[in-house]
A and B are shown apart, each in its own frame.
Chain A
Amino acid sequence: MTDPTSPERTDTPLSASERITTEQVAKVAKLARLRITDEELIRFTGQLGDVLEHAADLDLLNLEGVEPMAQPIPLANVFRKDVPGPILDRDEVLAVAPAAEDGFFRVPPVLGESE
C-alpha cells in the first residue's frame, strides 16, 4: 500500500532510471554547491539511482496513520538560562581563518542578496 497523502507516489515501485535523472542530479549538485564533471554526472546518477531503487521497497509499506519520527528520544523543553558564557578570542579565530581583515572574515565579492 502506498502513502495516500503523497501525490507523487504510484502503486508500482519505479526503476532506477525513473527514480532520478541527470537533470535532477545536476540541479541538486548546484543546490549543494558542488561542481561535478560530465563523467561524474553520469556515474553519480547511476549510483544514486541504485540507492533509490533499493529504497523503493519502502513503497510497499502501509504508512497510513503512522507518525514520522524525527528523533528517537522522548524529550521536550530543554533550555539554557539567559546567562553569558565564555566567548572565543577573535585573534585566535581569525589567525586560522582562510582570510581575514581588520577583525572581519574576508571573502570574495558576494553576488545576489541574501534572503
Chain B
Amino acid sequence: MSSAIEIAAAVQSGERSAIEVLEEHLGAISERESEVHAFNLVTTDQAIAAATAVDELVAKGGPLGPLAGVPVAIKDNLCTRGVATTCSSKILEGWVPPYDATVVTRLAAAGAIMVGKTNMDEFAMGSSTENSAFGPTRNPHDLSRVPGGSSGGSAAAVAAGFAPISLGSDTGGSIRQPAALCGVVGVKPTYGTVSRLGLIAFGSSLDQVGPFANSVAEAALVCEVIGGHDPGDSTSLPQAFPAVSEHLSDGVAGMRIGLITEMMGEGIAPDVAQRIRAAAEWLAAAGAEVEEVSVPAVAYGLSAYYLVAPAEASSNLSRYDGVRYGLRVDAPTTGEMMELTRTAGFGDEVKRRIMLGTYALSAGYYDAFYGTALKVRTLIRRDFDKAYERFDALLSPTSPTTAFSFGDKTADPMSMYLNDVCTIATNLAGHPAMSVPYGLGDDGMPVGAQVLAPALGEVAMFRVAAALEGSLS
C-alpha cells in the first residue's frame, strides 16, 4: 500500500483519484477486518462523500490540503460529528456527538478521508484492547496476540493496511505501546501541542492525541496538520507545532543520546533489550554520542500514574449517569438510576480505576495518595530535565515484551499495568516520545524502540527516529 505522502502527491497531481484510493483501502478492510476487528464502525458512506468532494476539488484546480485523499482511521474516543463515538463502552453505545474534535476538523480541512472509528480499551483504560465492550482487536501480525492498547484498533488499522495513517490517544503509553506491538510508528507529542477539545477525557493532565503511521515522515506530517494552538483548549500551548518534517534527514551526527538505565533492567525481555542495544550501537556508529543515563524517578512512574490518572478519570467519568445522553437504566429514583446505569454501562477495569481514583482523592487519603503522586511527578520531571541538560534525546524500549497472547494478563490487573513501565513517566512529565519499529523479537513479533525528548523537543526526537528507521532499510 502507498504511503500517505505518496497518496497525497498522486491525488494532487491527478494521477490517482481519491475514490480509487478509498476503494483500495475499503477493499483491504473488507478482506481482513472480520479477523482483525480494528473498527467499531466503518464509515463507508461518509468516506465516499468526502472522497468525491476531494476529487471535485481536484477537478476545479484545488486548493488541496496536504492530506487530500488520504484515508485515516480515528480512535473512537475522538468526537466526530454525526458519527457514533463510543469509547468502546456500553455507556456511550450509539452516542452521536453534535460536534467534531479539533483534530478531526483539522484533518478534514487537510483533505483526509475518515474511513472509520477504531476500537480501543474502554475509555482508554488498558494496554491490550481486551477491555473493549465490543470485543478485542487482534494483532495483524499474529491474530492470537493482542495489538496493545488502549489505541489497539488505530495501530492495527495501519499495520493491516486499512489506512496509511490513524489517530490515537496516549495517557500512559496508549499510542506508543500498541505501535511497538504492531510494528508501526506511533507518536505522543509534547503535552499541550495537540488540542484535547473533543477528545473524550480520561486523564486530563496526561492525555494527548497523536498519529500512527508506517513511517516517521508520515507521522511527522500528521503531527504538523493536527498540532498547534487551539483557543478552545485552555491547556493548549500558544505556539505552532515544531516544524519536524524539514529536519527528518538531518541525521544524528553530533547528537547526544542517552540510553535510560532504569528502562533496561530486569523487567525487560532479553530479546527486546537486545534490539534496543542494537539501536544504540547503530546510533553511535552513525556519529551520535551514546551513553547510558540514569533517570532515577522513572522507577516510580507506574505508582504515581496509577494514582494520578484514576483520580482524574474518576471525576471525568462522573458525567456518565444516564441523565443527558448515553445509556440509561431506569429506576424509581434518580440516585438509583445513576447507580444502575453506571454499573451496567462500565466494564470492570473502568470500575476499578474509578474506585481507585475516588479513593485516592477522598477525605483523609488525598495527601497520602493523590497529593504524594503529584509531588513524585515533580521529581520525575526534574530527573528528566537533568538528563536533558546532558542529552538531546533519550532511548529506551517502548514495551517490555513483544505482543502477548489474549488472556495472558487479564487475570491480574497489576501485570497488565506493568506493560507501561517504559512509557508512563513521559506522560507525567508532559514530554514527547515516539515508538519506531526496530526489528523483531525472538518470536518474530515486532519490537519498538522509544525515542524521548524534552518538552517541545520534537525536532530532535524525529531526527533520531528517522535515522533509526533509515538504518533498517
B412 → chain A closest CB, angstroms: 7
Main secondary structure of the interface of A (DSSP, over half): loop
Decide: B381 and A108 in contact? CB cutoff 8 A: no
Decide: B374 and A68 in contact? CB cutoff 8 A: yes
Give the distance in Å from the alpha carbon of A66 to the alpha carbon of B343 in the complex. Answer: 39
**Number of contact residues on B: which range applies?**
35 or more
A51 adjacent to chain B (CB < 8 Å): yes
Q: With a CB–CB cut-off of 8 A, which chain A residues contact B251?
A: none
Give the distance in Å from the alpha carbon of A8 to the alpha carbon of B365 in the complex. Answer: 8
Binding stretch for chain A, among B115-123, B324-332, B461-469: B324-332
B219 adjacent to chain A (CB < 8 Å): no
A1 adjacent to chain B (CB < 8 Å): no
Decide: B304 and A110 in contact? CB cutoff 8 A: no
B365 → chain A closest CB, angstroms: 7
Give the distance in Å from the alpha carbon of A111 to the alpha carbon of B343 in the complex. Answer: 20
Nearest-neighbor residue (CB-CB) of A92 within chain B: B98
Known: A73-B430, A108-B332. A63 touches B355 (CB 8 A): no
- List CB contacts (< 8 Å) of B283-321 with chain A: 299-300, 302-304, 306-307, 314, 318, 321
- List CB contacts (< 8 Å) of B414-443 with chain A: 414, 417, 428-431
> How would residues 1 to 20 of chain A score, 1 for a CB under 8 Å from any chain B CB and 0 otherwise?
00101101100000000001
**Number of contact residues on A: which range applies?**
35 or more
Main secondary structure of the interface of B (DSSP, over half): helix
Decide: B355 and A29 in contact? CB cutoff 8 A: yes
- List CB contacts (< 8 Å) of A19-53 with chain B: 20, 24-25, 28-29, 31-36, 40, 44, 47-48, 50-52
Q: With a CB–CB cut-off of 8 A, which chain A residues contact B192?
A: 72-73, 75
Decide: A58 and B304 in contact? CB cutoff 8 A: yes
Q: Which of A32, A36, A61, A72 contacts B376 (CB 8 A)?
A: A61
Q: Which of A44, A52, A72 contacts B351 (CB 8 A)?
A: A44
Decide: B358 and A110 in contact? CB cutoff 8 A: no
Q: Which of B339, B367, B412 contacts A50 (CB 8 A)?
A: B412
Give the distance in Å from the alpha carbon of A61 to the alpha carbon of B382 in the complex. Answer: 14
Q: With a CB–CB cut-off of 8 A, which chain B residues contact A88?
A: 98
A44 → chain B closest CB, angstroms: 6
Decide: B358 and A109 in contact? CB cutoff 8 A: no
Give the distance in Å from the alpha carbon of A109 to the alpha carbon of B365 in the complex. Answer: 33
Q: Which of A3, A29, A97, A110 contacts B324 (CB 8 A)?
A: A97
Known: A66-B378, A93-B98, A96-B325. A55 touches B303 (CB 8 A): yes
Known: A29-B355, A54-B306, A63-B376. A9 touches B368 (CB 8 A): yes
Q: Which of B322, B342, B358, B378 contacts A28 (CB 8 A)?
A: B358
B236 → chain A closest CB, angstroms: 8
Write the residues of chain A forming the contact surface with B, with a CB cutoff of 8 angstroms: 3, 5-6, 8-9, 20, 24-25, 28-29, 31-36, 40, 44, 47-48, 50-52, 54-58, 61, 63, 66-73, 75, 78, 80, 88, 92-93, 96-99, 105, 107-112
